[in-house]
A and B are shown apart, each in its own frame.
Chain A
Amino acid sequence: MEVDENRESDSMTRRDAAWMIARALATPAGLALASGWPGAAQNAGGGAMRHSNAPPERDRWKDYRPKFFTIAQFGALRMFTQVLIPTDETPGAREAHVPEFIDFVLNAAAEYAPEMQPQWQKAADYLDSVGFAGMNAANQEALVAEMAAPETDPNKTHAGFPFYRLMKEMTVRAYYTSRAGLVENLGYQGYAYLTEFPGCNHPEHHKV
């Protein structure tokens, strides 16, 4: 299993930051430093993406070569996941490195969950059998719409539906746990260092 113990963020590791805060709060001299941190007032309210503590994503996908899929299968997977989570006003599957992550996971499945691999092999074979990679964008969109139709209409069936669900589930998990999905798209505000918790300040929420 890949464990990178030597990861560094730009200036200071998070471990160091946590330790300094503990020390700062434990001493009277640290109180001045503590009061300089973002408090609830600065973090509550406001709709736009504000300051985030989220560190940059380390560059683990640079020069990534697929290990589970063939180059051709990987190409089709890139196109398919990009239809599922497109790049629009926020990053998509491409910026989140969803296809690379999926390949990495499936390769690692050999040890404890080998049953995953034939499922994904079938999904790759299916995309190959319909010539997905060779289609133009409009035809790809149309095929995904047909594959996905049983999700909203129980009367419909499609041979590709199980593969759509398989690929969507892992795409969604990969995307919303990536920096692109969690921080840049959703704007998750957790993992903060705050002096007080920003509770609800909406009078309308006190009535139902």
Chain B
Amino acid sequence: METFDAVIVGSGACGGWAAMELARSGFRVALVEAGSSVNPAHDFHHRWPYELPFHGQGQPGLLRKRYRGSTEFNYRLMIDDIENPYTTPDGMPFRWSRSRVLGGRTLHWGRVSDRMSDLEFHAASRDGYGDDWPVSYRDVAPYYSRVERFIGVSARAENLPQFPDGDFLPAMPLNCAETIFSAACGKLGFPVTQRRVAQLTRMLNNRPPCHYCGNCINGCDVGAMFSTVSSTLPEALRTGRVTLMCDTVVSAILMNAENRARGVRFIGRYNKQEGEIGARTVILAASSLENTRLMLNSQRGGLANSSGVLGHYLMDQVSGAGVSGFLPALKGAAIRNDDGKSSGLYIPNFINLGKQKETFIRGYAMSASGGAAQFPRFAVNHAGYGSSYKREIKRLYPAFARVWMSGGEMLARRENFVEIDPEVKDAWGIPVLRIHATHSDNDKRLYAHFHERAREVFHAAGGEELDAKAAMAPPGSLIHEVGTCRMGADPKTSVLNSYCQTHDVANLFVFGGGCFVSTGDKHPTLTMMALAARGCDFLTDKARKGEL
């Protein structure tokens, strides 16, 4: 059997990146994906709702039962919840949105690419809660740049200490609703910028610029938004050193007698036959929680878990519906292409930056947008019928707008954790996760504070609120789940070192959000990728020196 230099489990943002970097460095790589292959040129195209059998809503009950969190447009990119169950205790919901497909969630992600700052990496030193990260901004900054220059991030530089600037492509213009919200933030003295998105505004690395169709979350047909399949995978495959294995479900990490990983065991997705892939280095990049599940399933008590913290400190970010309604300035306006760039406005965190002033610690970022989005979802609950109703819906269509929680810090707490469910197994007989997560009082106070500020922004824009309920979403809803495999300088209290290498097993690396020590208030993907890039540098350097 061929022994690879590295086996990478998972082809999402970090797996694709690692395959590209390691293959370019001369590694022979096996890139293993549990889901099917996908080809944007053949599989992705603009689909109008009326071209789909159920107008985008899916067969009744299907998406609720089998493909939670998806639509008829993109459910084939999502995991099948019946084949892949997970459990939660009664009254403790956790929404876990997953993809098993080549490219993983990069195929339909929100594309927001933020840098975290030292205010987040060193938050514990500032307010005394939890632990600092074992890295500083200056350690990660060069890797943020490397990733940004490759994936392409459209953004405005703002020179804010809590929101570091990067290597940006030109920003996109704001639509009318965003322009009004921007003026409202100016009036309130809130910082404001364009959401920083991995969408090209000019050609980059052989990828064409965005054509502003707004179809991002259903798979970009031309590769103008960053995804593994449009960006890192073609580069990886071009080296000729990457063996891509789709429909291959990894079930465990294989170890040898010298406490070294020697590869992975897998089960064929369709034929259910077991096999092994031998490798000198094992890299897990199957998502925060799937990585942890693999480690917990690989050895009694968890592989590389001498610290006992594997599975603990699960986080999402705090989120909720926010505030929605109408901007009077836009009622009856000409219909414009308002959702074509689907980026929106971003209001960086401005809470607890200096002295601790609020009744809660840490902070949050808001987003705002509006205009003629495809479906006028307010119409269902708008009173009336007949011609007058039709005219009113059309008048309100371009004026619908909302302010929402882009990401609020959810505190890292040991009692939020995942473990292996003693009974339930997936379609391949692999034990599944049981997820325990609740919000802390701090999380709730932070959300309540956000809701007040969101209403301020909405009202300053002249907005008429439709729904003023401060409904916080259950953990997992923002799909920013991180933690459970935290990094740290001390092997007694962390699983990984700052290079995403396990303290216990020298040739086992874990890329993705599992390593996060805290959530911060930024979208997590760019930080995951930058840390993976940093880990790859470390790995190749150590491998060259024979120190792995």
Enumerate chain A interface residues (CB-CB to B < 8 A). 1-4, 7, 13-15, 17-19, 21-22, 25-26, 43-47, 53-55, 57-58, 83-86, 88, 90, 101, 104-106, 108-109, 111-113, 116, 144, 148, 151-152, 168-169, 172-174, 176-179, 182, 185-200, 202, 204-208
For the complex, what is the distance from the CA of A194 to the CA of B64, rounded to whole Å? Answer: 35
CB <8 Å contact, A85 and B172: no
**What's the nearest-Cβ distance from chain A to residue B68, in Å?**
13
A14 to B42, CA, bound (A): 11
Known pairs A186-B394, A207-B183; list 13 more (Cβ under 8 Å).
A45-B334, A112-B62, A152-B383, A179-B48, A182-B50, A185-B394, A189-B336, A192-B340, A194-B212, A198-B336, A199-B173, A200-B179, A208-B180
CB neighbours (8 Å) of B173 from chain A are 196-200
Residues from 194 to 222 in B contacting A, C-beta threshold 8 Å: 203, 206-215, 221-222
Bound Cα distance from A3 to B223, whole angstroms: 25
- Which residues of the partner chain B approach A176 to less than 8 Å between Cβ atoms? 375-376, 379, 393
Tell which of A25, A182, A185 touches B49, judged by Cβ atoms closer than 8 Å: A182
State whether B41 touches A22 (Cβ < 8 A). Answer: yes
Determine if B372 and A188 form an interchain contact, defined as CB atoms under 8 angstroms apart.
yes
A37-B109 Cα distance, complex, nearest whole Å: 28
Q: In the complex, A176→B184 CA distance in Å? A: 31
Instruction: Give the docked Cα–Cα distance between A151 and B62 (Å).
Output: 30
Which 9 interchain pairs have the tightest Cβ spacing?
A: A199-B173, A112-B61, A113-B61, A25-B208, A177-B55, A113-B60, A18-B221, A177-B49, A109-B60
Given A86-B386, A177-B375, A185-B394, residue A191 in contact with residue B60 (CB < 8 A)? no
CB distance from A12 to the nearest CB of B (A): 11
Beta-carbon nearest neighbor of A198 in chain B: B337
Contact of A192 among B184, B337, B373 (CB under 8 A): B337
How many chain-B residues does the 8 Å CB contact rule pick out?
A: 77
Closest to A117 in B: B60
Q: Please, how many angstroms separate the alpha-carbon atoms of A109 and B386 in the complex?
A: 28
Per-position binary interface string of chain B over residues 450-474, scored 1 when its CB falls under 8 Å from any chain A CB and 0 otherwise: 0000000000111000000000000
Q: Which residues of B contact A (CB under 8 A)?
A: 41-42, 44-51, 53-57, 59-62, 64-66, 172-176, 178-180, 182-184, 187, 203, 206-215, 221-223, 329, 334-341, 372-376, 379-380, 383-387, 389-390, 393-394, 397, 460-462
Instruction: Please determine whether B174 and A151 come into contact, CB atoms closer than 8 angstroms.
Output: no
* Interchain CB contact under 8 A, A105 and B339: no
Residues A47 and B41 in contact, CB atoms below 8 Å apart: no
Kindly provide the distance from the CB of B399 to the nearest chain A CB, expressed in whole angstroms: 12
The chain A residue with its CB closest to the CB of B203 is A25
Residues of chain B with a CB closer than 8 A to A208's CB: 180, 183-184, 187, 460-462
Residue of B nearest to A15 (CB): B45
- Interface majority SS (helix, strand, loop, mixed), chain B: loop
Find out whether the CB atom of A15 lies under 8 angstroms from the CB atom of B59. no
Contacting residues, chain A, for B64 (C-beta < 8 A): 112-113
A207 CA / B337 CA spacing, docked (Å): 21
A45 closest partner in B (C-beta): B334
On whether the beta carbons of A186 and B397 are closer than 8 Å, the reply is yes
Flag if A144 contacts B385 (CB, 8 Å).
yes
Please determine whether B211 and A192 come into contact, CB atoms closer than 8 angstroms: yes
Q: Inside 8 A of B384's CB, which chain A residues have their CB?
A: 148, 151-152
- Jot down 20 A-B pairs with beta carbons below 8 A, ordered by A: A15-B45, A18-B222, A25-B208, A55-B48, A86-B390, A88-B387, A109-B61, A148-B383, A148-B385, A172-B379, A173-B380, A178-B49, A191-B46, A191-B48, A192-B340, A193-B211, A196-B212, A204-B329, A206-B179, A208-B461
A202 to chain B, nearest CB (A): 6
Contact A151 B383 (CB under 8 A): yes
Partner of B180, one of A85, A177, A205: A205
User: Given the known A-B contacts A22-B41, A194-B340, are A173 and B57 also in contact in the complex, defined by CB atoms under 8 Å?
Assistant: yes
Which of A18, A44, A182, A187 sits near B46, CB closer than 8 Å?
A: A18
* Docked-complex contact A21 and B387, CB < 8 angstroms: no
Residues of A within 8 A of B50 (CB): 57, 177-179, 182
- The one of A22, A169, A179, A193 in contact with B380, judged by C-beta atoms closer than 8 angstroms, is A169
Within 8 Å by CB of A202, from B48, B176, B393, B461, lies B176
Chain B residues positioned under 8 Å from A55 (CB to CB) = 48, 51
Q: A1-B59, A109-B60, A173-B55 are in contact. Are A190 and B214 (CB under 8 A)?
A: yes
A144 to B451, CA, bound (A): 38
Q: Nearest Cβ distance between residue B40 and chain A, in whole angstroms?
A: 9
B390 touches A101 (CB 8 A): no
User: What's the Cα separation between A43 and B335 when bound, in Å?
Assistant: 10
Closest to B334 in A: A47
Contact A112 B51 (CB under 8 A): no
Which of A22, A85, A197, A202 sits near B223, CB closer than 8 Å? A22
Shortest distance in angstroms between A91's beta carbon and chain B's nearest beta carbon? 10
Q: Nearest Cβ distance between residue B173 and chain A, in whole angstroms? A: 2
Tell me which of A192, A196, A199 contacts B213 (CB under 8 A). A192
Knowing A148-B384, A191-B213, A194-B340, say if A202 contacts B179 (CB, 8 Å): yes
Bound state CA distance, A52 and B432, in angstroms?
48
Instruction: Choose among A83, A148, A177, A200 the residue that contacts B174 (Cβ–Cβ < 8 A).
Output: A200
Q: Which chain A residues border B65 with CB–CB below 8 Å? A: 112
Given contacts A101-B55, A197-B172, contact A86 B48 (CB under 8 A): no
A192 near B212 with CB under 8 A, answer yes
Q: For the complex, what is the distance from the CA of A148 to the CA of B389, rounded to whole Å?
A: 13
Q: How far is the CA of A26 from the CA of B337 in the complex (A)?
A: 25
- Determine the residue in chain A with the shortest Cβ distance to B382: A172
